[in-house]
């Protein structure tokens, strides 16, 4: 029975979903959303804050500041509340409202940049804003998840060894790429491991991370408009790019089986399925990482109007359409119960 005194002390690291019967491939989906920050970013946040405290960079009176599409923001907000710091999250309009509310509920502040920068998109604009605030007040401490090696070290120390223990015969690992912290930590670990593992990066079409052209992306978490400095492609065996509409369809397929996940999980599952189709993978043991859960996306990925506005009316197949909603204002003539 786990009993904790600080929220960061709890993280479920041993839960996998077998996707064989839903997606027709032997993919074990590692669920990283079961902690008090609700995502894989708890590990990166804890590792970066611990290191900054050890190095004397973060001290009483410091104000943590970070550019985040949401999940790192929630994790840092939780840690700041737990350890007595203040935190300012700089994000952009794609950040979910519920994520922003969570950061504020934890006692911290959110700045939303409204205009992308000419060369670096929204990410460039967020980083410009962070830099300007840091230059204005020495109490700000910017951990910089895009450059901080403790981001990938968290996954080298925790995520990858947990997978290696659970799957000693692992053949392929699918990891979504945002800052590439999860990807680089796992890829570095498995390159040093006792047997070869193919590490496949999954990214969104429109992301520049692996050299593709920039394009519109609406799902937070994966993809970048500025190449992440911690990425070292020599550790990555393959890259697969996924259209957001395919990611959304994978999310709805999971949801129709009772598993409500975020958009990056749909992206990773869609990419993993496509890769296994292309590689005639047969009996491989494959793991994919699900970075968070679906509740934060009820107003976007799981909202019909949003989906149709962004991806068109036909984005979901006929079997995935949400059921007709009864008009609750008009009591049903046949309803007799209480």
Ligand X SMILES: Cc1ncc(COP(=O)(O)O)c(C=O)c1O
Q: Which helix (H) or strand (E) holds 109?
A: strand 109-112
**Between 172 and 301, CB nearer to ligand X:** 301
Instruction: Tell which one of 182, 204, 224, 270 touches ligand X (CB under 6 A).
Output: 182
Residue 27 · residue 286 · CB < 8 Å:
yes
**Between 39 and 225, CB nearer to ligand X:** 39
Looking at 21-29, 96-104, 175-183, 209-217, which segment touches ligand X (CB under 6 A)?
175-183
Dihedral of the CA atoms 49, 52, 53, 57 (nearest 10)? -140
Asked if residue 178 binds ligand X (CB under 6 A), the reply is yes
Instruction: Tell which one of 223, 262, 266, 294 touches ligand X (CB under 6 A).
Output: 262
Asked if residue 124 binds ligand X (CB under 6 A), the reply is no
CA distance 40 to 183: 12
Asked if residue 176 binds ligand X (CB under 6 A), the reply is yes
CA distance 138 to 320: 52
- The interface mask with ligand X, positions 188-227, x = CB under 6 A, is ---------------------------------xx-----
Asked if residue 39 binds ligand X (CB under 6 A), the reply is yes
Instruction: Tell which one of 38, 121, 124, 181 touches ligand X (CB under 6 A).
Output: 181
Asked if residue 95 binds ligand X (CB under 6 A), the reply is no
Order of strands, sheet of 140-142, starting from the edge strand that comes earlier in the sequence = 109-112, 86-91, 63-67, 140-142
Asked if residue 38 binds ligand X (CB under 6 A), the reply is no
**Between 125 and 281, CB nearer to ligand X:** 125
Residue 261 in 3-state DSSP? strand
- Measured N-to-C along each axis, helices 71-83 and 41-54 cross at an angle, to the nearest 10 degrees, of 40
Closest CB 60 distance from ligand X, rounded Å:
28
Asked if residue 177 binds ligand X (CB under 6 A), the reply is yes
**Between 72 and 281, CB nearer to ligand X:** 72
- Dihedral sign computed on CA atoms, order 153, 104, 266, 39: positive
**Between 8 and 292, CB nearer to ligand X:** 292
CA distance 211 to 198: 20
Q: Which of residues 290-329 bind ligand X (CB under 6 A)?
A: 291-292
Asked if residue 254 binds ligand X (CB under 6 A), the reply is no
Closest CB 172 distance from ligand X, rounded Å:
18
Residue 76 · residue 66 · CB < 8 Å:
yes
110 vs 8, 32, 55, 334, CA distance in Å?
A: 21, 24, 26, 48
Closest CB 227 distance from ligand X, rounded Å:
13
Residue 186 · residue 30 · CB < 8 Å:
no
CA distance 33 to 99: 14
Gyration radius of the chain's alpha carbons: 20
CA distance 257 to 290: 16
Instruction: Tell which one of 108, 159, 180, 225 touches ligand X (CB under 6 A).
Output: 180
Asked if residue 22 binds ligand X (CB under 6 A), the reply is no
Give me the residues that bind ligand X (CB under 6 A), please. 39, 41, 69, 71-72, 176-183, 221-222, 262, 264, 291-292
């Amino acid at each position: 029975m786990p009993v904790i005194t600080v929220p960061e002390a709890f993280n479920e690291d041993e839960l996998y979903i077998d996707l064989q019967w839903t997606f027709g491939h032997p993919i074990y989906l590692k669920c990283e959303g079961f902690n008090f920050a609700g995502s894989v970013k708890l590990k990166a946040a804890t590792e970066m804050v611990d290191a900054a405290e050890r190095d004397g960079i973060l001290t009483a009176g410091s104000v943590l500041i970070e550019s985040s599409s949401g999940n790192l923001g929630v994790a840092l907000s939780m840690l700041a509340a737990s350890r007595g710091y203040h935190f300012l999250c700089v994000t952009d309009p794609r950040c979910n409202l519920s994520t922003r509310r969570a950061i504020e509920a934890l006692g911290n502040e959110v700045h939303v940049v409204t205009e992308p920068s000419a060369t670096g998109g929204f990410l460039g604009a967020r980083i410009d804003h962070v830099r300007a605030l840091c230059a204005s007040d020495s109490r700000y401490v910017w951990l910089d998840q895009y450059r901080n090696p403790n981001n990938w070290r968290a996954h080298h120390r925790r995520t990858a060894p947990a997978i290696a223990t659970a799957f000693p015969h692992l053949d392929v690992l699918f990891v979504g790429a945002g800052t590439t912290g999860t990807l680089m930590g796992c890829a570095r670990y498995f390159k040093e491991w006792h047997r070869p593992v193919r590490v496949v990066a999954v990214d969104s079409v429109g992301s520049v991370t692996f050299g593709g052209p920039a394009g519109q992306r609406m799902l937070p978490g994966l993809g970048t408009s500025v190449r992440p400095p911690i990425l070292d492609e020599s550790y990555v065996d393959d890259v697969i790019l996924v259209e957001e509409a395919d990611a959304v369809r994978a999310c709805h397929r999971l949801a129709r089986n009772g598993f409500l996940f975020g958009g990056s999980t749909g992206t990773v599952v869609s990419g993993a399925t496509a890769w296994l189709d292309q590689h005639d993978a047969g009996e491989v043991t494959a793991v994919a990482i699900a970075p968070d859960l679906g509740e934060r996306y009820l107003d976007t990925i799981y909202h019909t109007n949003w989906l149709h506005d962004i991806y068109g009316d036909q984005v979901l197949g006929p079997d995935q359409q949400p059921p007709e909603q009864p008009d609750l204002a008009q009591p049903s003539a046949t309803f007799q119960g209480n």
